[in-house]
Every structure is written in structure tokens, then in C-alpha cells.
Amino acid sequence: NVFESYDKTKTGYLEPFSLNEALKSAGFKLNNQVLNALCHRYASSDGRIRFDDFLLCAVKLETLLNNFKNKDPNNTNEAKFTFEEWVANIVYF
């Protein structure tokens, strides 16, 4: 699995610098601003990311990406959401 291949020390954690590579190999292309936000959200207080948190992160990213693509049928990299839709995406998933 992706997590195990980037958990080089086999500790059950990813270091923050490994998160980008792991997510990239899972098909996500993210900029530094998004990666920093993900690290702040999903890393533990010591800065490491557990498998469970990595899984939650990947599932949320996939869900948000699919929702965005549904709102961007012409693939313009722009989508229009109502406030309620945006909140539902952020809070629910």
C-alpha cells in the first residue's frame, strides 16, 4: 500500500515531508499551501501522520476532488458552490 511504501522506518507514521510523495503516488497533485494545511490538520502534535489519519486525509481529498469535478464539467479548474454546498463539503467530509 502507499502508506507502507513511504513509511521508510516502519514506525507506522509518515513524516510530513513524505506526505507529498505518498499523496502524489496516490494520484493527488497538491501545492505547498494545501500540503501545509493537510499537515496541520492530520499530523499529531509531534508532526507525524499516522496511518488512520493518512487514510482520512486521502478519503477527504478524493471526495472533495470528485465534488469539485462535478461542479467543473468543462474542466476549467473553477467551480461554483453555494455557501451551503461549500460548508457541507468542508464539515461533512
Sequence-separated (6 or more) residues with CB below 8 Å from residue 9: none
Band (93; pLDDT cuts 50, 70, 90): low
In this structure, the strands spanning 49-50 and 13-14 are antiparallel
The number of distinct structural domains making up the chain is 1
Domain containing residue 44: 2-92
- pLDDT tens across 25-71, in order? 999 999 999 999 999 999 999 999 999 999 999 999 999 999 999 99
Q: Give the residue with greater pLDDT, 1 vs 13.
A: 13
CATH of the domain at 72: 1.10.238.10
Contact 92, 59 (CB under 8 A): no
CB count, 10 Å around CB of 48? Answer: 18
